[in-house]
Amino acid sequence: MKDNYKSVTEISGDSVSLEQVERIQNRYCWAKKYCESKDVLEVACGSGQGLGLINSHANTLVAGDYSPEVLKTAIDYYKNRIPLEVFDAQKMPFDDNKFDVIIIFEAIYYLPNFVDFLTECKRVLNDKGKILISMPNVTLGDFNKSPHSYDYFNIDELKTTLGASNFDSEFFGYLNVEDISLKQKIFRPIKKMAVGFGLIPKTMAGKKILKRIVFGRLVKMPNEILIEDCKSCKDVDLLTSGISTHKVIYCAATLK
């Protein structure tokens, strides 16, 4: 299973839509304020586009991924700048009470047991430690599950699950579908129909063709999000209910 994740992960250097790059920039720009002078762990860091930005704000940063193939890109790029290792987020190789913040972006649905992950987070987090989560909005009609995924959560489900594990949670929305381009608005019902019939490509190569049709020119996924990239990041909306029309949901969960 480890090697399969490379087929569904957008690796540095891949051709992607500008929106995908902006999504990565935005979630790390959102996260960095929580990481200021903190001891931070990023799990499921992928090829590590956000590590440099977080490292520039954190007191310490450690990161890793379940897939050796995916993590190799980050290791080759960052070399000795940031400690990186392969590990399972449900069984972390770290001491108790070691971190102030744990980041897990676009990955909770790849965990076979999310509650086991939360149990590990409680063990390695300090008092009042935080988990920062980014996930797709599953309530949108054109949402499409990723291959190799397990459970997806809507806002209410995630809030309930976090609460049962002794975490308070706050939610934010990014990229409201009401603000997307006319071309994307026209394509969304077509995508919804394609999802219903199982016609969405399963691999990144197949999705690349689809993205070129929808988004036009593709760009290279950067190795690292830079501080100056944050200047173009959009604000996120605080969500006061479990209903949202945003493409991306952020959650800041604080250990009680």
Q: What per-residue confidence (pLDDT) applies to 1?
A: 42
* pLDDT reported for residue 10: 81
What pLDDT was estimated at residue 19?
Answer: 86
Q: How far apart are CA 85 and CA 74, in angstroms?
A: 10
pTM: 0.89
pLDDT above 50 (res 2): no
CA dihedral 204, 51, 161, 247 (to 10 degrees): -50
What is the pLDDT averaged over residues 177-188?
A: 66
Neighbour tally for 168: CB within 10 Å:
14
User: What average pLDDT does the segment 20-45 reach?
Assistant: 97
Look at residue 46 and tell me whether its pLDDT is greater than 70.
Answer: yes
The structural domain count of the chain equals: 1
Domain ranges, residue 185:
2-255
pLDDT in tens, 124-169: 999 999 999 999 999 998 788 888 899 999 999 999 999 999 999 9
**Distance in angstroms (rounded) separating the CA atoms of residues 171 and 157:** 12
Beta bridge partners of 83: none
Residues 211, 219: Cα–Cα separation, whole Å? 11
CATH number at 126 reads 3.40.50.150
Which carries the bigger pLDDT value, residue 50 or residue 9?
50
What torsion, rounded to 10 degrees, do the Cα atoms 104, 105, 110, 114 define? Answer: 40
Residue 244 burial (CB count, 10 A)? 21
The predicted model gives 33-56 an average pLDDT of 97
